[in-house]
Amino acid sequence: MNRYLFLLFVLFSSSVFAQHVPTFEEVISLRSIGSVTLSADGKHVMYTVQTTDWNENRFDTEIWLSKNGGPPFQLTNTSKGSSSGAEFSPDGKWIAFLADRGRKTQIQVINIEGGEARTVTNEEESISSFEWHPSGQSFIFLKPEKEDKIKMEQEKRYGGFEADDKEFTLSHLWQIDFNPDQRDPSELPCYEKTDSLKVKAGCIELPKAKRLTNGNFTVTSFRVSPDGKAVAFGHQPDPLINSFLKSDISLVSLLDNKIISLVKNPSTDGLEGWSPDSKEILFTSNLSDSTSNFYMNSKLFAIQIETRVTRQLAKTLDENLGGFEWEQTGIYASIWNKTKKLLYRIDPATGTHSIFKNSPNQILSFSFSKDGQTLAYTARADDQLTEVFISKRNEEGQQLTDMTSQIKNWKVAQSEVISWKSKDGATIEGVLHKPKDYDPKKKYPLLVMIHGGPTGIDTPTPVPGYVYPVLQWLDKGCLVLRPNYRGSAGYGEAFRSLNVKNLGVGDMWDVMSGIDYLDKKGIIDKTKMGSMGWSQGGYISAFLTTNTDVFKAISVGAGISNWMTYYVGTDIHPFTRQYLKATPWSDEMIYKKTSPITNINKAKTPTLIQHGEFDKRVPIANAYELLQGLRDKNVPAELIVYKGFGHGITKPKEKLAATWHNWQWFNKYIWGENVEFPVGDK
């Protein structure tokens, strides 16, 4: 090769393989995989993919299909909405899914060999979820009741008003036949029947649904028995969020619609599924605990339908339990184990548990074939995006997707799991993100990013973010610490209980001791530090604002500033009562001890506050209270309200705006840069 050609090759190679820092838009536009479903025979895999539609300002979810291990292809395309809940028919010939294609959300079916999807229900209300009957000849589905006519008449006369916690819509179960040869109603005209006009051609009508449940309760979940004779369903008195504490499990017979109560403990009972022989029901329960079940482990049980004999399973599995599937080869669930999420197997006979699959070390969802010998699952390693895998039961998985190729030329986060001792001796883990060209001899600015929950968890990942531009900050030259503070999932019941009556205080111990740990290693510049977080992470950041002065900048996303303000306004009042073990009226001091606003007079740190306009989980009054307190103390503070949003930012354009707001704030106070908010082509 001559010198000229060699130089061209070098230039071409560097342009193709050179890594770059992605834009905020590129990060938000990453395609991501959601749920996965395997056909009964184990030959075909379906999964969902979320994409970003900037023109419509929404995230779209559609269904992809891999047949016989072949290359996946997009199966659905709902133009103005998403497609979800896809299920293979028992014979594997059809795929059913939910989508709104002009008639509210209905069940759609498409032949696995191709063609157009067609609607098989025509309900006045949107269908929430469905299952195929094992015969493949009908669907069981859940939908809300029709709008109350009395309420409509009342509004005509008196206008709009609502009695708190007394107005809601119940949901119930229905069954509808499925005929593969059903013609679409649009294929023939349908005339009005009058005395002067006779119908010349018969109308094509879809089958009518048959009601399965009725009463003063709302159905929250359901599972059809493998033998097709009954439906187990979870229910509670109403759909209000706190009524989950009164949830129970019943059965409805598909032969005579008779309903029998099956599990009725004083606290939460959660339906998990059926045994393969249809003789037992698997469920989780908090039994009689309605005062600490936000942070204590739920328990796993199996109950015999005929005898009502109940036995506990997985007694020594120390984590909050849920998401189980009872297969021919055992009971399985994906459960957190510190910063890993592993697939566990429970032996139905002995109740003992073991790790069934641990690679990749983040197994997020799974689906078995009917015989339990083939497994499809979504998972990722620490340096991957989520991918789809398929494997025989005891073999290594074959990767079907390549979502990670989206970031192959990006400068991504280099992740390391670290641990340290907190003030009270508790061991705390966290994820430390480093820039690509990390130099252990340098001292870096430190940004602390705190997850919500508190029972959330942070894990190694190449692209951390939400509304925080982590990759761009790493490229500027800093470290990012994401602590799994006390209360985080994955570390057992005792660890989740450590911030009871100690919210904020113990969390601050965990953050500050993590900073001290990094400082002793000589790798951070303590004169350039910031903290941020959303929800519970926003609360902890607010607590740091008013109780420390070590940070140059803080961002509070949808955070609590005053537990009393939060308690009277939130939609989950039991959360505060459980963690603080009191109401504001029974123990005012614990509310003051754990509220950021209590020490507002000590605040010095410039604080950005971000909040959704209609947030019910953490009402926006918390944002205004913190803002006014900081302004009264002449602390630089700014509140950004995201219009039309609740507790999270769920649209791409506002997510982009929130990312820019954080970029501006921290760059100003950590790096001394005045960043202009880009408008138009800038």
Q: Where are the domains of the chain?
A: 411-671
Model confidence band, residue 1 (pLDDT cutoffs 50, 70, 90): very low
Residue 25: its H or E element: helix 24-28
Give yes or no for a contact between 447 and 550, defined as CB atoms under 8 angstroms apart: no
Q: According to the model, what pLDDT value does residue 79 have?
A: 87
Name every residue whose Cβ is closer than 8 Å to that of residue 41 and which is 6 or more positions away in sequence.
92, 369, 370
Instruction: Identify any residues that bridge with 274 across adjacent strands, giving them in sequence order.
Output: 281
Q: According to the model, what pLDDT value does residue 244 have?
A: 93
Distance CA 644, CA 622 (A): 17
Lowest mean pLDDT among 13-27, 448-462, 489-503, 580-594: 13-27
Q: Which of 261, 302, 260 is nearest to 285 (CA)?
A: 302
Name every residue whose Cβ is closer than 8 Å to that of residue 321 and which is 6 or more positions away in sequence.
284, 297, 298, 299, 300, 314, 333, 335
Give yes or no for a contact between 62 and 75, defined as CB atoms under 8 angstroms apart: yes
Q: According to the model, what pLDDT value does residue 202 have?
A: 64
Q: According to the model, what pLDDT value does residue 10 have?
A: 36
What is the three-class DSSP state of 145?
Answer: coil
Q: According to the model, what pLDDT value does residue 195 have?
A: 54
Phi, psi of 357 (to 5 degrees): -145, 135
Q: According to the model, what pLDDT value does residue 160 have?
A: 79
What is the three-class DSSP state of 227?
Answer: coil
- DSSP string spanning 580-649? HSS-TTT-HHHHHHT-GGGGGGG--S-EEEEEETT-SSS-THHHHHHHHHHHHTT--EEEEEETT--SS-
What is the three-class DSSP state of 310?
Answer: strand
Model confidence band, residue 535 (pLDDT cutoffs 50, 70, 90): very high
Q: According to the model, what pLDDT value does residue 194 have?
A: 58
Distance CA 267, CA 298 (A): 11
Q: Which of 108, 114, 43 is nearest to 73 (CA)?
A: 114
Name every residue whose Cβ is closer than 8 Å to that of residue 407 and which is 6 or more positions away in sequence.
22, 30, 385, 462, 463
Give yes or no for a contact between 379 and 387, defined as CB atoms under 8 angstroms apart: yes
Using DSSP bridges, classify how beta strands 607-612 and 637-642 pair: parallel, antiparallel or unpaired: parallel
Give yes or no for a contact between 607 and 644, defined as CB atoms under 8 angstroms apart: no
Give yes or no for a contact between 557 and 648, defined as CB atoms under 8 angstroms apart: no
Kindly state the DSSP code that residue 549 receives in the 8-state scheme.
-
Q: What average pLDDT does range 115-138 have in this prediction?
A: 94
Sheet holding 299-304, edge to edge: 269-274, 280-285, 299-304, 310-313
Distance CA 136, CA 126 (A): 22
Give yes or no for a contact between 388 and 381, defined as CB atoms under 8 angstroms apart: no
Model confidence band, residue 192 (pLDDT cutoffs 50, 70, 90): low
Kindly state the DSSP code that residue 123 receives in the 8-state scheme.
-
Model confidence band, residue 196 (pLDDT cutoffs 50, 70, 90): low
Model confidence band, residue 681 (pLDDT cutoffs 50, 70, 90): low
Q: According to the model, what pLDDT value does residue 11 have?
A: 35
Q: Which of 213, 215, 187 is nearest to 201 (CA)?
A: 187
For residue 15, pLDDT beyond 50: no
- DSSP string spanning 429-488? EEEEEE-TT--TTS-EEEEEEE-STTT------SS--TTS-HHHHHHHH-EEEEEE-TT-
**Cis, bond preceding 207 (omega within 30 deg of 0):** no
For residue 14, pLDDT beyond 50: no
Mean per-residue pLDDT over the chain, rounded: 93
Kindly state the DSSP code that residue 296 receives in the 8-state scheme.
S
Instruction: Identify any residues that bridge with 113 across adjacent strands, giving them in sequence order.
Output: none
Q: Which CATH architecture has domain 411-671?
A: 3-Layer(aba) Sandwich (3.40)
**Cis, bond preceding 652 (omega within 30 deg of 0):** no
For residue 450, pLDDT beyond 90: yes
Cβ count near 325 (within 10 Å): 17
Give yes or no for a contact between 59 and 50, defined as CB atoms under 8 angstroms apart: yes
Q: What average pLDDT does range 371-396 have in this prediction?
A: 95
Model confidence band, residue 3 (pLDDT cutoffs 50, 70, 90): very low
Instruction: Identify any residues that bridge with 532 across adjacent strands, giving them in sequence order.
Output: 449, 555
Distance CA 584, CA 566 (A): 10
Write out pLDDT tens, residues 618-674.
999 999 999 999 999 999 999 999 999 999 999 999 999 999 999 999 999 999 999
For residue 204, pLDDT beyond 90: no
Distance CA 651, CA 662 (A): 17
Tell me if the pTM is above 0.85: yes
Q: What average pLDDT does range 96-105 have in this prediction?
A: 93
Q: According to the model, what pLDDT value does residue 180 have?
A: 86
Sign of CA dihedral 542, 546, 548, 551: positive
Write out pLDDT tens, residues 329-350.
999 999 999 999 999 999 999 9
For residue 412, pLDDT beyond 70: yes
Cβ count near 36 (within 10 Å): 25
Write out pLDDT tens, residues 287-325.
999 999 999 999 999 999 999 999 999 999 999 999 999
Model confidence band, residue 678 (pLDDT cutoffs 50, 70, 90): confident
* Token representation of residue 513: 């001791």
For residue 200, pLDDT beyond 70: no
Lowest mean pLDDT among 114-118, 288-292, 468-472: 114-118
